[in-house]
Structure 1
Amino acid sequence: MVDMRGPNRRQLYAEQTRADLVAAARKLFVDNGFADTSVEAITAAAQVSKGTFYHHFSDKKAMFAELYTELLQRVGALADAASEAIRATPGEPALTAVSNLTHAFLRRTIDDPLHRELMAQAPSVLVEQYRHINDTVAQPPIERLLTVLAERGGVEPDVPVATVARLLLAVLCEGNQIIAAAADREDALARTFHTITLLMSGLATDGVSAHG
């Protein structure tokens, strides 16, 4: 028999507590960096005990990994939206959607401090797990996007989709690092975007549309 009563009060409290811990860590990782954020600081900001923290997370690295995974899921959603845009606009140059995706990702490095800091800190915090999360969360939507492009005839027919997807993701991640470290982030965004556009144009059968 299916229980139709929904979550009870204890479940709702646990979910809210977990959300409070994540919100506290999100802010502290941005403001202070992962290394300078302690479990004690997270629990103090969330107004819960350390025992409560360890009930939800094995350590602060696990919490960081969850936040980074959520970030890449949003990137994946952008890639899937780009795939839909290609299907919806058959008359537009196929790689325009890739160009727009690239610009949207790089723009977040300036506009979204959480995106900027998690992307910048992830390689050193997560180490081997960083590549695994990239490969399993972000790369598949990019592969789907490139597959749509190949089906549309927008990229050269012999383009190895998986390899290009992995390289494009790596370039986007490195672009974040360049922009995040720049004194003039707007200028760094323009230069990085232009460079990636030039790299991608070599794959196109109809050219890449620059983002203004």
Structure 2
Amino acid sequence: MIDETRGKLIAAARKAFADKGFADAAMDELTAEAGLTRGALYHHFGDKKGLLAAVVALVDSEMAERAHQIVQQSGTDDPWEQLIAEGVAYTELALDPEIQRIVLRDGPAYLGDPSLWPSQNSCLQTTQAKLAGLIEAGVVKNVDPEAAARLINGAALNAALWVASSGQPKDVLPKAQQAFREMMSGLLKP
């Protein structure tokens, strides 16, 4: 019952936040959409901002999973190329209007620094582990894996933020992706 209630609230909030934005989404409307009360929202999420954090975590995790799936479908089994492709795919997902509004605009505006979000930290740990393997294999220069992972994830996130907030996201995307690839090449061992 608890999971069902949380799920209903998250689904209704996701739709409301994507359609109207966080500021304009009315709590009474989204709880009515879920067939629940404001009290349920407060009980499970504390407040509207807590609900936004849950929706952002879900959508951001889905972004990471979608980027991973895109890499798997690309057919490359080279771990270095997979790491680059995942960052490139993450920036491409910034073209999705729901992702733009919820994760890349409202999330940072109302929840603060994305590098502190649990979903981003999960991606950071994955990137760090991949880099450690690439360093050990002699593919990547001997750099601190955590520092490099933070820079790589930060670059992909900021590229996605740039794409999402630009007036011409489809024009900005290839520029961001090319710069990301070039930046990544600096980590390769000669």
Using structure 2 for the length normalisation, give the TM-score. Answer: 0.83
How far the C-alpha of 1:26 sits from its partner, in A, is 0.5
State the partner residue of 2:172.
188
* Alignment of structure 1 residues 143-162 onto 2, 5 Å: 143-157=128-142, 159-162=143-146
State the partner residue of 1:68.
56
- Residue type of the partner of 2:90? F
Query: Separation in 1 of the partners of 2:12 and 2:189?
Result: 47
Query: Separation in 1 of the partners of 2:16 and 2:69?
Result: 31
Query: Separation in 1 of the partners of 2:174 and 2:189?
Result: 24
State the partner residue of 1:103.
88
How far the C-alpha of 1:151 sits from its partner, in A, is 2.1
Q: Indicate how the Cα distance of structure 1 residues 61 and 43 shifts in structure 2: closer, same or farther if over 3 A, else same.
A: same
How far the C-alpha of 1:77 sits from its partner, in A, is 4.6
Q: Deviation digits for residues 20-52 of structure 1, max 9, x if unmatched?
A: 211111011112111222322221222221122
Gap runs ≥5 in structure 1: 1-10, 207-212
Query: Separation in 1 of the partners of 2:64 and 2:19?
Result: 26
Q: Indicate how the Cα distance of structure 1 residues 146 and 83 shifts in structure 2: closer, same or farther if over 3 A, else same.
A: farther
Query: Separation in 2 of the partners of 1:122 and 1:76?
Result: 16
3-state SS of paired residue (2:117) = helix
Q: Percent identity?
A: 26
CA contact 2:64–2:90 (8 Å) conserved in 1: no
- Residue type of the partner of 2:130? L
How far the C-alpha of 1:144 sits from its partner, in A, is 1.1
Query: Separation in 2 of the partners of 1:179 and 1:138?
Result: 20
3-state SS of paired residue (1:95) = helix
How far the C-alpha of 1:78 sits from its partner, in A, is 6.5
Query: Separation in 2 of the partners of 1:187 and 1:104?
Result: 16
Whether 1:30 and 2:18 are equivalent positions in the alignment is: yes
Q: Indicate how the Cα distance of structure 1 residues 162 and 137 shifts in structure 2: closer, same or farther if over 3 A, else same.
A: same
Residue-pair matches, total: 186
State the partner residue of 2:160.
176
Runs of 4+ in structure 1 deviating by more than 3 angstroms, as ranges, are 71-85
Whether 1:41 and 2:33 are equivalent positions in the alignment is: no
Q: Deviation digits for residues 80-115 of structure 1, max 9, x if unmatched?
A: 779999xx83xx4x52112210121011111x3332
Whether 1:126 and 2:132 are equivalent positions in the alignment is: no
CA contact 1:146–1:161 (8 Å) conserved in 2: yes
Whether 1:17 and 2:1 are equivalent positions in the alignment is: no
State the partner residue of 2:99.
115
